[in-house]
Amino acid sequence: MNFDAIIIGGGIHGSATAYYLAKAGLKTLVLEKDYVGRHASGVNAGGVRLLGRDFAEVPLSKEAMSRWQTLDDELDGDTGFRRRSLINIAIDDADMSKIQTRINSLAGLGYNHEVQIDQQELRERLPHVAHNCVGGVVSEQDGYAIPYKATTAFRRAAERLGATFHEGETLANLRQIGDTWQVRTDKATYDAGTVINCSGAWADKTAMMMGDNTPLSHSAPMLMITARMPHFAGPVVGAISRQLSFKQFENGTVLIGGGAKGFADRDSNHTTLDYKKLALAAETTKTFFPIMKTAVINRMWAGLEAYMPDNLPVIGAGVNARNAYHAFGFSAHGFQLGPVVGDVLTQLITTGKTNFDLNPFRIDRFERKVL
């Protein structure tokens, strides 16, 4: 069978890229080895965060953030997005001056979405915060979405526009013959003009088949969620200098993250939790919010996620083959970029250019480094 584009990987970026490509009129196929949203895209913390982004990511993240506000309408689906604001808490003057320095740097680049708040305002926004917290920084547009729902919303919208999704089909080999990519899987062989690597924790393998090496690693960031409890936190909460991260959903459950990593075996899709690190996250959470002492943990889990050495994703064209593109290695903060990355790739594929500076995200950026 022939397609204009074949996407390897049915996470949020694969599904969103399928949506934008289909919207541009390309006949698109997504190949997913498990099921759509099975890994990081379906089980992440759902943070939709512009606050604290690497400066290189800010333009993309800002565009994505404005799209999240109306994404349900755009996709005619339910991503579960809720705008709640995100506050990173400062516990001392050193934290406060870090905030000030960053805000000044952002202002120099023309950005004003991060705003410093003092202790009084912090307590107004988060009445249950510990008394020793001195202030913080807020980004008003931030919030959360439900990862599996958001990924499904992109997938369904893409399917309505004619994109095809094959689940349980694993890529075996890629060959470029003239202008055609021959895509062989464990079930069939397809021809495509363009291939796009959205393979997450497996993206280095896909990249290799496209002729590009990449220093990707993978890990298993861990999460836990409480049973329902009375509402005490509207905003999503983080901290400047501690591994604190949680959000309370509308149903009262509290999702606790913080970036602690478990153990990952990507060959078997298997992750193992590191309970000592989760215990530390529990300790940190109740230190910042004493009300959390009585919370009960209901579930803990981890997802397989791809990391790059500089914690920045790879987005853009391949360097060793024509009509090959990458979007992977989001290093545990790619979910929010879902509504923009696929569109940028679609612009590249259909027009050869984009308004965004993708230089920091080149796949060959590590090859020039002298170690």
Is residue 265 within the footprint of other proteins (CB under 8 A)?
A: no
Give the x/- contact pattern for other proteins in 332-371, rule: CB under 8 A: ----------------------------------------
According to DSSP, the residues that pair with 31 across neighbouring strands are: 8, 166
Q: Which residues within the stretch 118-177 sit at the binding site for other proteins (CB under 8 A)?
A: 147-149, 152, 155-156, 165, 167
Report the candidate in 345, 343, 350 with the shortest Cα–Cα distance to residue 315: 345
297 residue type, one letter = I
CA angle 80, 82, 84 (to 5 degrees): 155
**Which DSSP helix (H) or strand (E) runs through 180?**
strand 180-185
Report the candidate in 210, 211, 176 with the shortest Cα–Cα distance to residue 192: 176
φ, ψ of residue 220 in degrees (nearest 5)? -130, 85
Minimum Å gap between C-beta 112 and other proteins is 36
Site for other proteins (CB under 8 A): which residue of 270, 320, 322, 357? 270
According to DSSP, the residues that pair with 86 across neighbouring strands are: 139, 236
Of the two residues 94 and 279, which places its CB atom closer to other proteins in the complex? 279
Report the candidate in 57, 83, 56, 46 with the shortest Cα–Cα distance to residue 68: 83
Of the two residues 62 and 242, which places its CB atom closer to other proteins in the complex? 242
Site for other proteins (CB under 8 A): which residue of 279, 311, 320, 357? 279
Is residue 250 within the footprint of other proteins (CB under 8 A)?
A: no
Q: How far, in whole angstroms, is CA 104 from its chain's centroid? A: 26
- Alpha-carbon torsion angle 234, 104, 310, 13, nearest 10: 50
Of the two residues 5 and 256, which places its CB atom closer to other proteins in the complex? 256
Site stretch for other proteins (CB under 8 A), options 67-75, 173-181, 232-240, 287-295: 287-295
Report the candidate in 145, 132, 83, 90 with the shortest Cα–Cα distance to residue 115: 90
Site stretch for other proteins (CB under 8 A), options 19-27, 49-57, 274-282, 325-333: 274-282
28-32 and 2-8 strand pairing:
parallel
φ, ψ of residue 77 in degrees (nearest 5)? -150, -170
Is residue 227 within the footprint of other proteins (CB under 8 A)?
A: yes
Of the two residues 159 and 364, which places its CB atom closer to other proteins in the complex? 159
Site for other proteins (CB under 8 A): which residue of 198, 282, 315, 337? 282
By CB under 8 A, the count of residues binding other proteins is 38
Find out whether 124 and 26 touch, Cβ atoms under 8 Å. no
Of the two residues 230 and 352, which places its CB atom closer to other proteins in the complex? 230
Of the two residues 149 and 362, which places its CB atom closer to other proteins in the complex? 149
Is residue 37 within the footprint of other proteins (CB under 8 A)?
A: yes
- Residues at the site binding other proteins, with contacts judged by CB under 8 A: 35-38, 42-43, 147-149, 152, 155-156, 165, 167, 226-227, 270, 272-273, 275-276, 278-280, 282-283, 285-286, 292-301
